């Protein structure tokens, strides 16, 4: 499960590497590329995203051995693992915050509040126009926040352009539909949001691979995770950023293989 502003193509090399040992499926999420893209923000609330994933897993033959997810894909995966744990044997999360930790940090941690300020830009009506201007300059800037990003080859840049040319409103609606962004007023839902145990407690064995140079998701999000995810293996990667899938493909591949072995 990919995240923003990417697409299923980011998993291609991993799918090829894993193909001899596992059946692998990487969908484009709702609203991305040529996936279904219903109109309206309501269609992107988490209950619908979880239903999409659950239906896919049922069609593949539940339970699946491993669910691998990054960024917004992880947001969906965390919820599925809490609500329908019978569908998956192992969960692998790559730089995607647990929802309860995200609520806590957005309320109380100024570092995370500042790091997440961009979310309030992405919910604006003209966000898509800003992101595509000057050959998607703002989007490419997100991918190369720490320099030129040596993994971002000309061919991969073109692949991103092809995905983004299909439209961004669906992807942006994930942010518009979610209350998990920094408060701008005392009335914002993040200030009073209460997540019940049914949507935050994850019994599925979980591996988290976390690039600590992530400018958007700060290390405080990793504190105290075992209160919600007791069966947790956390590996911090000091030299990796949010784009760990591209920066550390061998490590990501090994983490998935370890999860596959554990599910056998």
Quick one: what percent of the chain has pLDDT higher than 70? 99
Rounded mean pLDDT of 57-83?
98
Complete DSSP assignment for the chain: ---TT--GGGGHHHHHHHTTTS----PPPTTSTTS---SSGGGGSHHHHHHHHHHHHHHH-SSEEEEEEETHHHHHHHHHHHH-GGGEEEEEEES---HHHHHHHHHH-HHHHHHTTHHHHHTSTTHHHHHHHHHHHHHHHHHTTTSS-TT--HHHHHHHHHHHTT-SHHHHHHHHH---S--SSTT-GGGT----HHHH---S-EEEEEETT-SSS-GGGGTTGGGT-SSEEEEEETT--TTHHHH-HHHHHHHHHHHHHHH-
Predicted confidence (pLDDT) at residue 54 exceeds the cutoff of 90: yes
- Quickly state the pLDDT bin for 196 (edges 50, 70, 90): very high
Evaluate if residue 147 carries a pLDDT over 80.
no
The residue whose two tokens read 């957005």 is 106
* pLDDT at residue 219 in the model: 96
Q: Using 50, 70 and 90 to split pLDDT, how confident is the model at 188?
A: very high
Instruction: Give yes or no for residue 148 having a pLDDT over 70.
Output: no
**Mean pLDDT, all residues of the chain:** 96
Mean pLDDT to the nearest integer, 100-106: 98
User: What is the pLDDT averaged over residues 159-176?
Assistant: 98
pTM value is 0.97
Mean pLDDT within 205-217:
97
pLDDT band for position 260 (cuts 50, 70, 90): very high
Asked if residue 244 lies in contact with residue 237, where contact means CB atoms within 8 angstroms, the answer is yes
Tens digit of each residue's pLDDT (9 = 90 or more) over 220-234: 999 999 999 999 999
pLDDT (0 to 100) of residue 221: 98
Tell whether the model's pLDDT for residue 235 goes beyond 90. yes
Model confidence band, residue 144 (pLDDT cutoffs 50, 70, 90): confident
Q: pLDDT digit string (tens) for 116-140? A: 999 999 999 999 999 999 999 999 9
Catalogue all structural domains in the chain, each as residue range(s) with its CATH number.
8-125+170-263 (3.40.50.1820)
pLDDT of 146 > 70? The answer is no
For residue 145, the model assigns a pLDDT of 78
């Amino acid at each position: 499960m990919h995240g923003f502003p990417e697409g299923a193509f980011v998993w291609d090399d991993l799918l090829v590497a894993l193909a001899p040992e596992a059946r692998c499926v990487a969908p484009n999420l709702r609203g991305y590329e040529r996936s279904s893209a219903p109109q309206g923000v309501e269609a992107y609330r988490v209950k619908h995203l979880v239903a999409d994933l659950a239906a896919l897993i049922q069609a593949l033959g539940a339970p699946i051995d491993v669910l691998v997810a990054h960024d917004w894909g992880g947001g969906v995966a965390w919820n599925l693992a809490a609500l329908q744990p019978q569908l998956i044997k192992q969960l692998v999360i790559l730089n995607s915050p647990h929802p309860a930790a995200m609520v806590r940090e957005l309320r109380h941690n100024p570092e995370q509040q500042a790091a997440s300020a961009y979310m309030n830009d992405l919910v604006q009506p003209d966000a898509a126009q800003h992101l595509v201007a000057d050959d998607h300059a703002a989007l490419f800037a997100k991918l190369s926040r720490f320099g030129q990003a040596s993994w971002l080859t000309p061919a991969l840049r073109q692949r991103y352009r092809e995905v983004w040319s299909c439209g961004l409103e669906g992807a942006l609606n994930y942010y518009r539909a979610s209350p998990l962004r920094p408060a701008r007023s005392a009335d914002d839902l993040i200030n009073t949001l209460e997540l019940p145990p049914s949507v935050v407690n994850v019994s599925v064995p979980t591996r988290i691979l976390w690039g600590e140079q992530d400018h958007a998701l700060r290390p405080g999000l990793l504190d105290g995770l075992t209160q919600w995810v007791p069966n947790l293996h956390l590996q911090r990667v000091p030299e990796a950023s949010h784009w760990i899938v591209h920066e550390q493909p061998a490590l990501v591949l090994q983490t998935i293989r370890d999860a596959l072995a554990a599910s056998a």
